[in-house]
Amino acid sequence: MIKMYDLAGADPEHRFSPYCWRVRLALAHKGLSVETIPWRYHEEKIAFSGQGFVPVLVDGDIVVSDSWRIARYLDEAYPKSKPPFTVAGSVAKSLFIKHWMGKVVHPVVSRVIIPEIIKQVHPLNRDYFRNTREQRFGMRLEDLSAERDKNLQSLHASFEVLRATLGEFQFLGGSEADFSDYLVFAAFQWARCVSQVKLFPEGDLLEPWLDRMLKMFDGMAQKARRYT
């Protein structure tokens, strides 16, 4: 059985990391079962992977970290379980979308939801979480909260590229979801899991796509544990 170390909040069943969500959706796409192992920032149990971040995938003797590298590994190791979703023709474009998420969308989503995430992390992680995030953004979490509306407006503008694409196609993968959909959806799932914050207004053109994603794989994402 494949194992995956998965970021957990105070509640060990509370999983919201967008990077881990990418991998969970990728595994589901491949029809592969996984045992997820909760991990908090203060825990040393992923040291064997040679780095300090989740997701970490363990498949027999093979250890892979980083969601993009994990997706690439799964395509190579399990080519027959489903059509590969990161292969040539599509792969560089998926990577482009990944970088768009990483450089444009995630920094702003982070600013919006980090003041919510801190309420969900393990109490032992709160000081660590606050200190690292306040250092990263150069401001107190309370000040991040105060600029939420400005950040939501900036997200709204960034999402125009997605809206235009998903107004024409069911998925970024075309008629079926592929890894690029998971790359993007994972950020929405992240926000959904930690807060009531809506990243776009009611009736937004992204809603039907988000709904399709939530319902995939027997509602796996929709059923996920949310904030407490």
Contacting positions for its own copies (CB under 8 A): 83, 87-97, 99-100, 102-104, 160-162, 164-165, 168-169, 171-176, 178, 180
User: To the nearest whole angstrom, how small is the minimum distance from the Cβ of residue 88 to its own copies?
Assistant: 4
Contacts of 222 (CB under 8 A, 6+ apart): 214, 215
Which one, 97 or 152, has the nearer CB to its own copies?
97
User: To the nearest whole angstrom, how small is the minimum distance from the Cβ of residue 183 to its own copies?
Assistant: 11
Q: Which of 37, 113, 108 is nearest to 46 (CA)?
A: 37
How do 56-59 and 34-39 pair as beta strands? unpaired
Q: Which of 113, 117, 19, 114 is nearest to 65 (CA)?
A: 19
Q: Could you please report the per-residue DSSP string of 158-170? A: HTHHHHHHHTT-S
Q: Residue 16: helix, strand or coil by DSSP? A: coil
User: To the nearest whole angstrom, how small is the minimum distance from the Cβ of residue 95 to its own copies?
Assistant: 5
Which one, 67 or 94, has the nearer CB to its own copies?
94
Which one, 94 or 195, has the nearer CB to its own copies?
94
Find where tokens 């995430």 sit: 117
User: To the nearest whole angstrom, how small is the minimum distance from the Cβ of residue 90 to its own copies?
Assistant: 5
149, 227, 215, 8 alpha-carbon torsion, rounded to 10°: 110
Rounded to an integer, what distance in angstroms lies between the CA atom of residue 76 and that of residue 108? Answer: 33
Give yes or no for a cis peptide into 55 (omega within 30° of 0). yes
User: To the nearest whole angstrom, how small is the minimum distance from the Cβ of residue 105 to its own copies?
Assistant: 11
Which one, 44 or 168, has the nearer CB to its own copies?
168
User: To the nearest whole angstrom, how small is the minimum distance from the Cβ of residue 227 to its own copies?
Assistant: 30
Which one, 171 or 190, has the nearer CB to its own copies?
171
Which one, 39 or 85, has the nearer CB to its own copies?
85
Task: Name the CA radius of gyration of the chain, rounded.
Answer: 17
